[in-house]
Structure 1
Amino acid sequence: MTQYKDNFAQKHLPSQKLQPDYIYDGEEFQLPEDLNCVEKLLDNHIKEGRGQNIAIRTFEKTWNFQDLYEKSNQIAHVLVDDLGLISGNRVLIRSANNPMFVAIWFAILKAGGIVVATMPLLREKELEVMIDSAEISHAFCDYRLEEAMASVKSQFLRQVITFDGTETSTSKLEVLMHNKPKYFTNFPSKANDICLIGFTSGTTGNPKMTSHYHKDILLICEAFPKYALQPKPEDIFTGSPPLGFTFGLGGLVLFPFYYGASTFLIEKPSPELLLKAIQEHKVSVMFTAPTAYRVLATKVADFDISSLRRCVSAGETLPEKVWDDWFDETGLKIIDGIGATEMLHIFIASSEENMKKGSTGKPIFGYEAKIVDKKGNELGTNEPGKLAVRGITGCKYLNRTDKQKEYVQNGWNLTGDIFRKDEDGYYWFVARGDDMIISSGYNIAAIEVESVLLKHEDIAECAVVGLPDENRGMLVCAFIVLNDKSKACEEYAKSIQNWFKENAAPYKYPREIRFLEMLPKTETGKIQRFKLKAISAKN
């Protein structure tokens, strides 16, 4: 491990005894001690003669690897020469998905900094929490998102540099980049140096800082993509997750670049724009969330998506009906997966060869999993319990010993999910640990109720939570978004309840139904159940 001049991140790492067991079995996972992940992901394409290969497309722009390499080097010079970056400084990026975001991401690592990427929709207070928590010294902000950034008050933030993600005008970064050398000597980092701080997505309250090494960035590229995607240089990746979300970072930057493929970035990826990109640019691999697949299935008949060969879903549980609707419309099987910001990317997934409809899949190459009880004892076949995972990556919270001890126990990462494992080794999602509803002695998983409700022709979206109840312990409460919102009324709620009892075990039916215009979600598409519980508490 390098001794960064700014050792904040290293100083706040959990001790080795609090970290999980790591397993690096396999030649693919053996990496050199001297390692800057940018060299494999970007610089080697130039050294090995692939500089003219396309790296990034948008509807307006095309960059090859040479373009990306030169711009990243110029920005790295700006960081070191003009902004006074020292190794180990944390640098925030505030931008939608665009080529400049990617160039800045690589530049920070080239200069020896640590990336903290954020979502465009974050507001002033959320940004302040991140900046103060990670003691961020520098920030790059797309000028279109400058307003909230300008209002941030922090003793740590020294420099905010605006840039133009549209590349149609000139902001401060472009001025500073002008005439900077297009070659830069990368910071000599080590494999175990922290290069990325990812904040958890906030589905359960205040976000936590997860940290990842340079080697982690490359290790995940040998795991999920090989297992589920079999990437080829001619592949074109696209998707909806923000690059500030590790699901998006992996799927839209790390995986394609690791295999010499390209990515198609969309700043505001509506279903129509995703389908347009696939049709016009022959996209072959797509990453998005279940909520998007639900809408895509209703629109896909109007587009030619014959180039698409792999469809990946993560970020939220994939309902079986969504899988069925997409398959019926396209003939394509959605590859489901579960990952965590703490683990960097997906660790259990399905693939074309290993798929049971409705199951999440099996542990992918590089990981192992088991189901345990509250004491950590392994459970038997089809017994629901806590999901425990370990492998090439693991949880390393910064400055949160309390949360580290909760997440890592006996060398295993406990994700907070309830799963069961069937007789064939497939893992089936049951509930988030805090989403299991115990009502009148029955264990009712929120996802089970949601899966039934989504089969109702009038229900567009739904989310189920448990409400405290003096008589039953908890009540099943369903928050529902209707296709025709004018139908929302008490009488219609009763008709949905009656329909449910005819289509599933009556004891599971939602005794409370509340209609919403939309469900509260994170920018990554995850439903914020804690907000639904707060709404319930107020009522």
Structure 2
Amino acid sequence: MVWKVMPDFEGYDEACEQFTWDLPSSYNPAVDFLQKHDDLDRVALEQAYPDGRREQYTFRELDELSDRLAAGLADLGVEAGDRVGVVVPQKPQNPITHLANWKLGAVSVPLTVLFGTDALRYRLDDAGATVAVIDPAVRDDIDAVRGDCPALEHVVEIETDAPAGDVRAFENVLAAPENTDIEAYDSTPDTDTAILYTSGSTGPPKGVRHSHALWLGRAAAAYNFFDQGLGPDATVWTPADWAWGAALGGTLFATWHHGGTIVGYPASGFEAEEAFSLLSEFGVTRSFLPATALRMLMDVEDPTAAYDLAIETFAVGGESLTPEIVDWVAETFDSVTINEFYGQTELNLVVANNSNWFDTQPGSMGKPLPGYDVAILDPEAADSGAAEPLSAGELGEIALRPHDRSVFFDEYWNMPDKTAAKEVEGWFVTGDLARRDGDGYVWFKSRKDDVIITSGYRVGPMEVESAILEHPDVVQAGVIGVPDDTRGEIIKAYVEAAKDAPDHETLRTEIRSVVRESLAEYEYPREIEFADALPQTTSGKIRRKELQKWNADDSAGGSP
């Protein structure tokens, strides 16, 4: 039996008492994911494309391809510690690039193709990426920002034979098979692995520097929220972008750590019928789906009759799992479980439901996973640097403590003050408010900051406000999240327009276009209201709580 970070436990109490991280002294994720399995010729990746193409990649083939790319990147000058941007959707070149990076000791910077120019410019420059491997969909944006990223020496574009200018073709960077003599970098769980960027809810997005232990923490969590169902017989799919931690670490690499098969599909958006077709075609047994996606699946009539499904577990993260979704799964499928999980980019996936261990309580995030302590702290005391745990039933701030420090983040990249503020007397604070009941279940209430979760994506209002302010006819902008039945929340902007601005409908259209061009597709404001002036603090900051009151008045028939 090949080694895995989370063994089987029959019960929750047993797992919490007996589990230890016991991380290996030498560890390289490329070796772990590709080289340790008993049968290297088993399919690791089922790759599907919207045009109907289908490809398969075995563990051995992915190992060989990542060797070739590692050799090619080394020829470009990539060395241990260098940062390499990966701006590729759910296509084989995405994980192949990460694996090649780690074989060289380089650090991955996962980025979504949904980002626009501003978002890409900031992250590539802040990380000091020397190479970016990109999808053709973002080529124009990369060309536009490259001059503002002085460290970016090479751009490698996939799916092209002869890119214009000094961009290199991915296939041309791959070294010939006979020219690869790659021995994986001698790394440990504490070796740098990736810089993942937060949404920027309280300022510029923060680069979260992680070590290789990140992937083991995600693999252990996934094994639990997928009901201990990952292994050689598992086939796993998520529609979530592989740039996000829960999709990349908690789904893709967690599946490979445990020896299962992942399905890749670079869709431009989520469609319920298309999702059911994929689940059926590939016999998917476990799927991570944002709650928004599950709500859209609910619109398909009698899916078990229309599709031959093998699904056993749905896992939900990024937004609250509502009772109607739990009821729909129970009524629609035979013996299919649904588990919610909770975590942060910085602090791994630490709370979850596991239907094999305890009953799921609809609306609850579940219980702390083995290997972590969870407390609910007095938020005011935490802000003052003191950890004061609250009693069961009291509302406070979720705080976490790992049994092995390696599985949490190392630092915020170039932000030592932010790093220090994340830890309070040995506890890592989350900024999220919740209650913990007498049975140990954690019940999420709200966020301390103003981050918006829309369709499972975390969006920082300041980044959207900055994009809106790029429009010359906008004087001021304030952004909030408002409840939505399908997406959980949608982005709503309150805008103060210039005196000579065009009519409101025209300006709404132009603002949405500006945001779409600058940021990700999901970050544009679906609702825009105009006001003569916006509420501000004495220091000039937008008072978003006041905007929430305005929205409540609007819903009640009033006006700001």
**TM-score range for the pair, normalised by the shorter chain length:** 0.7 to 0.9
Contact 2:20 2:371 in 1 (8 A): no
Q: Which amino acid aligns with 2:71?
A: H
Aligned to 1:89: 82
Q: Secondary structure at the match of 1:58?
A: strand
Change in CA separation of 1:528 and 1:235 when aligned onto 2, cut-off 3 Å: farther
Instruction: Please point out which of 65, 68, 71 is paired with 2:62.
Output: 68
Q: Measure, in 2, the Cα distance between the counterparts of 1:218 and 1:146.
A: 33
Q: Measure, in 2, the Cα distance between the counterparts of 1:480 and 1:358.
A: 16
Change in CA separation of 1:70 and 1:306 when aligned onto 2, cut-off 3 Å: same
Change in CA separation of 1:307 and 1:365 when aligned onto 2, cut-off 3 Å: same
Cα deviation for residue 123 of structure 1 reads: 1.1
Q: Deviations over 1:66-99 (max 9, x none)?
A: 1111110000000112x11121000000111111
Aligned to 1:324: 327
Q: Which amino acid aligns with 1:156?
A: A
Cα deviation for residue 104 of structure 1 reads: 0.9
Check if 1:260 corresponds to 2:259. yes
Cα deviation for residue 397 of structure 1 reads: 1.6
Cα deviation for residue 343 of structure 1 reads: 1.6
Cα deviation for residue 218 of structure 1 reads: 2.0
Q: Secondary structure at the match of 2:36?
A: helix
Check if 1:385 corresponds to 2:396. yes
Q: Measure, in 2, the Cα distance between the counterparts of 1:529 and 1:159.
A: 37
Q: Secondary structure at the match of 1:61?
A: strand
Aligned to 1:9: none
Aligned to 2:287: 286
Check if 1:37 corresponds to 2:29. yes
TM-score by length of 1: 0.74
Change in CA separation of 1:377 and 1:200 when aligned onto 2, cut-off 3 Å: same
Change in CA separation of 1:107 and 1:530 when aligned onto 2, cut-off 3 Å: farther
Check if 1:186 corresponds to 2:220. no
Cα deviation for residue 481 of structure 1 reads: 5.6
Q: Deviations over 1:192-237 (max 9, x none)?
A: 1111111113455531011111123223323441464311211100
Contact 1:101 1:165 in 2 (8 A): no
**Following superposition of structure 1 onto structure 2, how do residues 263-412 of structure 1 map, counting pairs within 5 Å?**
263-268=262-267, 270=270, 271-299=272-300, 301-302=302-303, 303-304=306-307, 306-331=309-334, 332-344=336-348, 346-352=349-355, 353-354=357-358, 355-373=360-378, 374-375=380-381, 376-391=387-402, 392=404, 393-395=407-409, 396-412=411-427
Contact 2:373 2:401 in 1 (8 A): yes
Change in CA separation of 1:287 and 1:531 when aligned onto 2, cut-off 3 Å: farther
Contact 1:315 1:526 in 2 (8 A): no
Q: Which amino acid aligns with 1:262?
A: T
Change in CA separation of 1:427 and 1:381 when aligned onto 2, cut-off 3 Å: same
Cα deviation for residue 155 of structure 1 reads: 1.1
**Following superposition of structure 1 onto structure 2, how do residues 94-173 of structure 1 map, counting pairs within 5 Å?**
94-152=87-145, 153-164=148-159, 172-173=169-170
Percent identical among aligned pairs is 24
Q: Measure, in 2, the Cα distance between the counterparts of 1:300 and 1:205.
A: 44
Q: Deviations over 1:6-26 (max 9, x none)?
A: xxxxxxxxxxxxxxxxxx996
The answer for unaligned runs of 5 or more in structure 1 is 1-23, 437-445, 451-462, 466-476, 484-514
Q: Measure, in 1, the Cα distance between the counterparts of 2:98 and 2:70.
A: 10
Change in CA separation of 1:422 and 1:42 when aligned onto 2, cut-off 3 Å: same
Change in CA separation of 1:219 and 1:530 when aligned onto 2, cut-off 3 Å: farther
Change in CA separation of 1:215 and 1:435 when aligned onto 2, cut-off 3 Å: closer
Q: Measure, in 2, the Cα distance between the counterparts of 1:93 and 1:86.
A: 16
Change in CA separation of 1:174 and 1:371 when aligned onto 2, cut-off 3 Å: same
Cα deviation for residue 250 of structure 1 reads: 2.0
The answer for unaligned runs of 5 or more in structure 2 is 1-15, 49-53, 162-166, 382-386, 462-479, 487-507, 530-543, 551-559
Aligned to 2:442: 427
Q: Secondary structure at the match of 2:287?
A: strand
Contact 1:164 1:171 in 2 (8 A): no
Aligned to 1:200: 198
**What is the number of residues matched between the two proteins?**
441
Contact 2:225 2:340 in 1 (8 A): no
Contact 2:225 2:339 in 1 (8 A): no
Contact 1:289 1:525 in 2 (8 A): no
Cα deviation for residue 394 of structure 1 reads: 2.3
Q: Deviations over 1:398-442 (max 9, x none)?
A: 221222233211111111110101111110011111369xxxxxx
Q: Which amino acid aligns with 2:339?
A: I
Q: Which amino acid aligns with 1:158?
A: E
Q: Measure, in 2, the Cα distance between the counterparts of 1:64 and 1:184.
A: 19
Q: Measure, in 2, the Cα distance between the counterparts of 1:164 and 1:51.
A: 26
Deviates more, 1:180-189 or 1:99-108: 180-189
Q: Measure, in 1, the Cα distance between the counterparts of 2:525 and 2:58.
A: 38
Q: Secondary structure at the match of 1:298?
A: coil
Cα deviation for residue 35 of structure 1 reads: 2.0
Contact 1:382 1:422 in 2 (8 A): yes
Q: Secondary structure at the match of 2:241?
A: coil
Contact 1:205 1:530 in 2 (8 A): no
Aligned to 1:440: none
Q: Which amino acid aligns with 2:309?
A: S
Q: Secondary structure at the match of 1:29?
A: coil
Cα deviation for residue 321 of structure 1 reads: 2.5
Aligned to 1:213: 211
Q: Which amino acid aligns with 2:447?
A: R
TM-score by length of 2: 0.72
Contact 1:137 1:156 in 2 (8 A): yes
Q: Which amino acid aligns with 2:239?
A: S
Q: Measure, in 1, the Cα distance between the counterparts of 2:119 and 2:286.
A: 32
Change in CA separation of 1:333 and 1:307 when aligned onto 2, cut-off 3 Å: same
Change in CA separation of 1:422 and 1:134 when aligned onto 2, cut-off 3 Å: same
